[in-house]
């Protein structure tokens, strides 16, 4: 579990691969356990327990701390961080059956994953959230590729906002990202023309019907991907 300053570690797992919740529920804080009771649907409860519980399991390995002793604090806009002194940062996202966790050292990170849906009008929705340039690029995408291009754009924008830790109220149209499967890139920011040089974007597709993206400070050179279920099996 060696994490260098040049790498980001991404862990993924499917909610349906886990049956026993008690082990992970015990790791949650009192306020997290109380939040579990407020979820209406069992799947949402399970997703939350696994995301928070397994975040602690992996964090314990990186931090060399017992998972039970790991607590979190939150920024003004709700971005979580460890409530202890460490150079390691993390971020979490989930959609559908998939949960992803990312860890970096001495850097800033944001991650987003989305299950691809095709039951909406891509161009109409993009008009409400995307920049003029992104809408222009979407109009050039072949019809069969539109939904995937939309999610490539969406996850990159969400991961950027999460990396900056500025909250989802931030105007999505004020910056532009690329749309292609390859060559994820921050193309422009309205408030500072030079900021695009301060970040790197990576896209990933860990499952056929999911798209994900990472935004990280430019010191990161590579992203390493791990399957959490395989790791836990090896540990047991």
Regarding whether 51 and 73 lie in a shared domain, the answer is yes
Number of domain units in the chain: 2
Question: CATH number for the domain including 165?
Answer: 3.90.470.20
What are 51-60's pLDDT values in tens digits? 999 999 999 9
Would you state the pLDDT for residue 190? 94
Regarding whether 20 and 33 lie in a shared domain, the answer is yes
Regarding whether 87 and 144 lie in a shared domain, the answer is no
Is there a contact between 19 and 232 (Cβ–Cβ < 8 Å)?
Answer: no
pTM over 0.85: yes
Q: What average pLDDT score do residues 190-194 get?
A: 94
Task: Flag the least confident range among 8-12, 107-111, 230-234.
Answer: 230-234
């Amino acid at each position: 579990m060696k994490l260098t300053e040049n790498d980001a570690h991404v862990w993924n797992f499917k909610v349906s691969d886990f049956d026993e919740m008690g082990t992970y529920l015990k790791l949650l804080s009192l306020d997290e356990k109380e939040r579990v009771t407020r979820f209406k649907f069992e799947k949402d409860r399970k997703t939350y327990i696994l995301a928070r519980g397994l975040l602690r399991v992996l964090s314990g390995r990186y931090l060399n701390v017992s998972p039970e002793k790991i607590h979190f604090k939150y920024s003004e806009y709700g971005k979580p961080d460890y409530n202890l002194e460490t150079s390691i940062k993390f971020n979490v996202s989930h959609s559908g059956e998939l949960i992803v966790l990312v860890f970096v050292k001495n850097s800033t990170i944001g991650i987003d994953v989305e299950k691809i849906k095709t039951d909406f009008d891509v161009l109409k929705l993009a008009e409400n959230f995307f920049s003029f340039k992104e809408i222009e690029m979407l109009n050039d995408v072949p019809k069969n590729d539109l939904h995937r291009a939309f999610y490539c754009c969406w996850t990159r924008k969400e991961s950027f906002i999460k990396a900056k830790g500025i909250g989802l109220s931030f105007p999505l149209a004020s910056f532009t990202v690329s749309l292609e499967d390859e060559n994820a890139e921050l193309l422009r920011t309205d408030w500072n023309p030079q900021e695009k040089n301060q970040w790197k974007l990576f896209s990933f597709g860990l499952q056929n019907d999911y798209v994900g993206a990472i935004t990280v400070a430019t010191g990161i050179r590579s992203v390493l991907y791990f399957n959490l279920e395989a790791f836990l099996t090896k540990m047991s």
